[in-house]
Structure 1
Amino acid sequence: MAKRKNRAPALRTVFWAVFPFACLVAFWALLRASGLINPGLLPSPGSVLAEFWQRLTQGELLLNIWMSSQRVVLGLILGMLAAIPVSFLIGWYRPLRRFFDPLINFFRALPPIALIPLAIVYLGIGEVAKVAILFYAAFFAAVIVMYEGMMQISPVYVRVARTLGASDFEIFSKVMVPMSVPHMLTALRVALGVAWATLVASELVAAQEGLGAMIQDASSFFDLTTIYLGIICIGALALFMDLILRKISAVAVSWQDKHTG
């Protein structure tokens, strides 16, 4: 009985993780079978699955997944490494905040795809240009989330620390940094989503491998089955990575829940 009770929450979790996608696939199949959309414009779930298996067994799909994943992860890591110190600086020093705030809001509004010609001119058509576009997208997404999160930290903590005689460095390292950890993790998740959303744009830079390149090549031949496969793979990878980050976040900020409780 105890094993069954322990198994029930896990089964519910799996059910609610799978059920929405099962409904989506069922709707997709019904929509195609209904005749409301020309079958030539909407591939069946079965044909996409067959395409997935064919490309997987040939090794092509795994190569594309690997190339896209490493570009996203590298752009995300570099973006976060740059965004964390910038966020603390503009969050801690008001003159810097006044100077950089309009610049950050200006550049974050620019779509990364608009920078592709400049990336090609200055960085060429190699991996550096592709990663640079992903870095750009991840950096500005992360800076905004972390900066806004830091602004929401109650000044009561800072005032209490000053009352107890803490120096600026101690306030920064022992109050601001720990209180900013949840915002860093949120920024990481947001930046991950933005990086995956920018992947196809980054792989416009003469990419031969990658899911974005696969989608672009398929679009040249009006291969909708491969386009659907590429879109599904991007979404599935982004979801998988986000789930990992959510687990890490739950562990990393568990001390706050205990403190609040």
Structure 2
Amino acid sequence: MTAKVSTKSNDSLVDRIPHALWGVISFVLGIGLWWLATSLGASTLPDPGSVAVRIFELAANGQLLSDALASLRRVLIGFLLGVSIAVPIGFLMGWYRLARSLVEPWIQFFRVIPPLAIIPLAIVTLGIDETPKVFVIFLAAFLSSVVATYQGVTNVDRTYINAARVLGASDWVIFRSVVVPASMPFILVGFRIGLGSAWATVVAAELIAAQSGLGFRMQQAQLYYDLPTIFVSLVAIGVLGLLMDRIVMRTDEYLTRWQEKGTS
């Protein structure tokens, strides 16, 4: 009996603390562990203080903003192009068997080839300007999103479709009012995965051929063993990626507010 009361008390305490506050606590603990590791000499990484100073220096001279905007522009262009093409193709694959038979083998073929492996070929064939960087980001976002959309369509509960047919709904009405909403959670999960792939790809592309961007700045810092600058770029990528991920999450919550979701 005592154990049950204790568990209830702990659960109520956890519930009373806002979710955002837990995120702040986690962040502070992470920074504290980082500082402790560097203070005790257990790590060769720069301490949080030197990284913070470097952030202010790069922000003051405008370099951080310029690099962040360059990488963000590439990610947004490639990602938006990728998902805008992936979603209709995914719907076609899931809705029409012929389209699935024709397209799916090619999708699976390119899925097993890492987008990073395409970078040298893209640079040789497309040059060293923005085109190859955007292309590999497009490919990474496209492959994640098209598979997620296809899975979303094929996983729609047939009961909903059959019920709509019984009520006299046409194929277009069923697709628009049943299939699209039911597939939305899968599509947005694909978007989130695609965003992660897009950031990983753009950094790799900038390491190979770029004159600006967070990946380019890390490469330049690595030549001079400038660890604080490398960490600044890593932090910037993490913050931008997290913000974009949260935007997709909020979009998911809005578009799927009809769906019953479990909480813990």
TM over 0.5: yes
* Structure 2 match to 1:6: none
Out of 50, 63, 86, the position equivalent to 1:47 is 50
Match of 2:40 in 1: 34
Q: Does 1:24 align with 2:27?
A: no
Structure 2 partner of 1:73: 76
Letter in 1 for 2:147: I
Aligned to 2:203: 200
- Structure 2 residue 262 is the aligned partner of structure 1 residue 251: no
Alpha-carbon deviation of 1:257?
Answer: 4.2
Q: What is the total number of aligned residue pairs between the two structures?
A: 248
Q: Does the 8 Å CA contact 1:79/1:135 hold for their aligned counterparts?
A: yes
How do residues 65-214 of structure 1 correspond to structure 2 at under 5 angstroms?
65-214=68-217
Alpha-carbon distance change, 249 to 102 in structure 1, aligned in 2, over 3 angstroms: same
Tell me the distance in 2 between the aligned counterparts of 1:86 and 1:181: 15
**d(CA) in 1 for partners of 2:254 and 2:48?**
37
Name the SS of the counterpart of 1:142 in structure 2: helix
Q: Deviations over 1:189-208 (max 9, x none)?
A: 22112211222112135211
Q: CA deviation at 1:87?
A: 0.2
Q: Deviation at 1:150?
A: 1.9
1:71 CA displacement: 0.9
How far does residue 55 in structure 1 lie from its aligned partner after superposition?
0.2
Residue type matched to 1:213 in 2? F
Shift of 1:15: 1.7
Instruction: Tell me how far apart the structure 2 counterparts of residues 162 and 223 of structure 1 sit (CA, whole Å).
Output: 64
Distance (whole Å) between structure 1 residues aligned to residue 196 and residue 16 of structure 2:
26
Task: Give the drift of 1:101.
Answer: 2.3
How far residue 184 of structure 1 moved from its aligned partner, in angstroms, is: 2.2
- CA contact under 8 A between 1:146 and 1:187: conserved in structure 2? yes
* Unmatched 5+ stretches in structure 2: 1-14
Which amino acid in the other structure matches residue 108 of structure 2? N
Match of 1:5 in 2: none
- Alignment check: 8 A CA contact 1:125 1:205 kept: no
Offset at residue 93 of structure 1 (A): 1.1
- TM-score normalised per structure 2: 0.87
Structure 1 stretches of at least 4 aligned residues deviating more than 6 Å after TM superposition: none
How has the CA–CA distance of structure 1 residues 232 and 86 changed in structure 2, closer, same or farther, with 3 Å as cutoff? same
SS in 1 for 2:258: helix
Contact 2:82/2:138 (8 A) holds in 1:
yes
User: 1:220 aligns to what?
Assistant: 223
Report the alpha carbon displacement of residue 99 of structure 1 after superposing the two structures with TM.
3.1
Q: Which amino acid aligns with 1:28?
A: W
Question: How far does residue 79 in structure 1 lie from its aligned partner after superposition?
Answer: 0.5
Of all paired residues, the percent bearing the same amino acid is: 43
2:152/2:182 contact within 8 Å kept: no
| Per-residue Cα deviation, 1:99-141 (whole angstroms, up to 9, x for no partner) | 3223212212211221112111221111111111110100001
Deviation at 1:29, TM superposition (A): 1.1
SS in 1 for 2:215: helix
Structure 2: distance between partners of 1:202 and 1:155: 43
What's the offset of the Cα at 1:11? 7.0
Shift of 1:10: 10
Opposite residue 112 of structure 2, the aligned amino acid is A
